[in-house]
Amino acid sequence: MLLIHCPYCEQDLPELEFAYAGEAHIARPADPSKLTDEEWRDFLFIRTNPRGVHFERWRHINGCARFFNAARETVSDRFLLTYKAGEPRPDVAKLTGVAQ
Amino acid sequence: MNAMSPLAAGVTITELAPTVRIALRLADISTAPGLALPVKVGERSAEGGRTVLCLGPDEWLIEAPEAGRDALFAALGAISVPHSAVEVSDREITLELEGPAVLTLLASGCPRDLARMPTGSGARTVFDSAQVVVTREAEDRFHLTIWRSFAPHVRAILDLATRELAAGL
Ligand SMILES: [Zn+2]
């Protein structure tokens, strides 16, 4: 079973306790009424969908119930790092050792 | 039926009597000095029959005997900052699982490695897709606190697993 490190519980715990919650670091526009339809569409629906390191939200729903962020390699499904909600996006090069 | 005896299965399941349960949400534990709130997720304090389990960074499950209800409510009433304290006594039932095969029995539905859970601690986790709270009361004794509507489902799996253990499967 895939183990995920919860940054609040500080333990590696089974995937069944967690729920995926979409891409991380997407800020809601400060003034939505100023956005064009295209910008609003991009905010709502357009995601990076990378082949490689993906920054994404997870929720430890059957545990401490916190949302947190993870950097996951989408090819290998390996979690490179998890970190608390609100912390800055980590540097991909530092995570993988490869400049991107 | 002899094959179903607890002795053969190595574990017994007992439904515990009702108890007072409070779900507490609070930002800063220093604002509730009377409750001995543990800080770390999974930690549990026990004092005068009352236990407090830290479920999340700002969430606790408090259990107390009926005789301790007034003292508990007084301690909650003394909190002077915004918080949420909800009585959920009737929301869940607690099963006591005890015996040398208890870890095998729990593994029939719980994906968490409960062998690593220290005695005296606990956690919210999942049992065959039903959310439960597991606490370790002793080396071979656990409490499983289950939302009432999911309890028949969890109990059916536990009873089946007990029969399998008794049959040597
Ligand atoms: Zn957690």
Same structural domain, B58 and B101 = no
B101 φ/ψ angles, rounded to the nearest 5 degrees: -95, 15
Count Cβ neighbours within 10 Å for each residue of B49-68 and write b for 16 or more, e otherwise: ebbbbbbbebbbbbbbeeeb
Same structural domain, B73 and B33 = yes
In this prediction, residue A94 carries a pLDDT of 80
Same structural domain, B80 and B108 = no
pLDDT at B71 over 60: yes
Nearest to B41 among A9, A14, A62 (CB): A9
Report the candidate in B8, B17, B23, B152 with the shortest Cα–Cα distance to residue B96. B17
Same structural domain, B32 and B65 = yes
pLDDT at B112 over 70: yes
Same structural domain, B98 and B76 = no
Kindly indicate the confidence band of residue B116, based on its pLDDT and cuts at 50, 70 and 90.
very high
Q: What is the value of ipTM here, to two decimals?
A: 0.90
CB contact (8 A) between residue A63 and residue B57:
no
Same structural domain, B95 and B163 = yes
In this prediction, residue A93 carries a pLDDT of 77
- The reply to whether A29 falls in a domain is no
* Range of the structural domain that residue B139 is part of: 2-16+91-167
CATH code where residue B137 lies = 3.30.1360.120
Residue of A nearest to B117 (CA): A11
* Range of the structural domain that residue A84 is part of: 1-24+52-100
In this prediction, residue A2 carries a pLDDT of 92
- How many domains does chain B contain in total? 2
Same structural domain, B112 and B82 = no
Mean pLDDT calculated for residue range B151-163: 97
pLDDT at B132 over 90: yes
> Of B51, B68, B90, which residue constitutes the final position of a domain?
B90
Report the candidate in A93, A29, A75, A81 with the shortest Cα–Cα distance to residue A55. A81
- Which bin fits B151, alpha (ψ -120 to 50), beta or left (φ > 0)? alpha
**Chain A residues touching residue B42 (CB < 8 angstroms):** 9, 11
pLDDT in tens, A7-42: 999 999 999 999 999 999 999 999 999 999 999 999
Beta-strand pair B44-47/B50-56: antiparallel
In this prediction, residue B8 carries a pLDDT of 76
Q: What is the mean pLDDT of chain B?
A: 94
CATH code where residue A64 lies = 3.30.2270.10
pLDDT at A99 over 60: no
Kindly indicate the confidence band of residue B33, based on its pLDDT and cuts at 50, 70 and 90.
confident
Q: Hey, of B39, B124, B144, which one would you mutate to test binding to chain A, going by the most A CBs within 10 A of its CB?
A: B124
Kindly indicate the confidence band of residue A98, based on its pLDDT and cuts at 50, 70 and 90.
low
Give the SS3 label for residue A89.
Answer: coil
pLDDT in tens, B90-101: 999 999 999 999
Place of tokens 């900052």: B81
pTM, two decimal places = 0.91
